[in-house]
Structure 1
Amino acid sequence: MKNLRLIIGLLGILVVLACSDDDTIKDPIFEFISFQNESVTINENGGSIEPIPVVLRLMGYEPTEDIRVDLSVTNTNVEEGIDYELSSKSLIFKSGSFISDTLFVSTIDNEIGTDLERSFDIRIENISKPEIKVGLGIENPTNAVMKVVIADDECTETISVFDGALTNQTPWGTHDINGSVNGSVVTLVGNLITYSPFSNATLEVTLTPDLDGGTKGSVTFDDFNAGTDSDGYEYQFRQVGSGSYDVCSGEIHVGFDVYYMSGGSWVYWYTTNNTITLQ
């Protein structure tokens, strides 16, 4: 009987050793946490777009206690707080749940146009139960990272679009004028006040974007000596209200009072509101 027990024991040891040397034998049960999608695209249109919900899924394991998952973000031509916002950077699997709570991704309409891809990666960084694997699959796990692509809604032009032939619309008529751009200053030349004796008026306006690289902004100028008409009268333009521009629509809006020189003093004549557009 003792010999039989010894033989059985030796056989057991051999089986264990054989199994230990067999690298192909794997545990048939695996636990994974992953994103549901590898990528998602979200439009930039700010408040007009509902935030995109993002959740994680848990496979092969039913939690008996809450599991916390921490996330990290890697940006490509975007910046958090300027291009997008995340409601959180950690998600929780409640006890007994295979789906995490929800992370919301929203975009910010920042008026910046670019031809470059604008995206960011959300990555599973840490799991409070470390024995659970990240991503689906043992050798080449997938869905451990989710890519969020922001679809830009701005054009990629700059204020250089105003360099050339333009159309000037006033309350009394529409006229062809010319623009030339130097840095942030646009020089407008032509019939700016619908007055034929003064068809060569000049006005320099400064275009300032609402934020660096933006396609929209303000139009300003100081009291500007606009030139002399064919009758010899000198003119000055003085801005009224807030001017604006939009590169994507190719428009400049600016209003100003028209003054002329008489007896050594500037005399108010009338006010004009101009819409200047690309031809």
Structure 2
Amino acid sequence: MAADDAGIGGDESDDDSGIGSRELAVAAALALAVVAATAAFPAVADARAAYEIPVERQSSAGDLAEPTGDAWTSVETVDVPMSSTGAAVPGGAETTVESVRVEAARTDERLYLRLSWSDPAANASTDSLRSFADAAAVQLPVSAESQPPIAMGSTDNRVNVWYWNAADGTESLLAGGAGSTTRVPESAVETRATHTGDRWTVVFSRSLASDRANVTDVDPDQDVNAAFAVWEGANEERSGQKAASEWYYLSLGPNEGGTIYETVLWALAGIAVVFTTLVTVEGVRRTRGE
């Protein structure tokens, strides 16, 4: 019995029944790491949300095709900053449009994008040598699997461009890098535009599904990247001289139950609480000599 008691006593002194110092240190480190990650995740989620353009689902098209349609009243507006294309393009650093308001809606069959920007005068004629029409464009990746280079894509990651010109109407374009633009025949993109007061408002629309190769197939259950450009005719802007945005994304995917960022955030928070509690309990136990 004495030997057994000694053995038991030896086990207690080594504290094998509790959490060892090494395990405690690891647990503490993990707890700190998880807490730090939990704190950082809102910033990641906010960064993504800053580039989100919500897409409102509507049961019918109604008057979504009209720039001043009542159906747009409930659609959230995103103010997208615009910047010049840079000094590499002659006059490229002297664009005038600083932002464009973007709204997005869809039905089960069709996507609608409404762009609106400040422009004191409507330039809709190219009759003279030095006259240039106002214009706007939406750029989408041909493939939703990756994000193409913002400057008209690349040879292995091409983009579609929905282009509206106040003088010449609407075109659908395919590009695989700067200077590689080609016209997609029989464009399915439709536009309607109006200039009221000091603003242009243009609605682009197209069926979600594409009926041909090298044209963006919009999946109603998957987010899609989008970028925007505006040309100010009064400032003689044309071709590469334009105001353009960064990549944003049209939030088409399902969002029931919160975004994945919110789910991960709460999971990390729960893990952090568990580890922190374990570390605290063990610390108290050791302090009391238990």
Structure 1-normalised TM-score? Answer: 0.26
Q: Which of the pair has more CA radius of gyration?
A: 1
Structure 2-normalised TM-score? Answer: 0.25
Query: If each structure's helix is expressed as a fraction of its own residues, which one has the higher value?
Result: 2
Query: If each structure's strand is expressed as a fraction of its own residues, which one has the higher value?
Result: 1
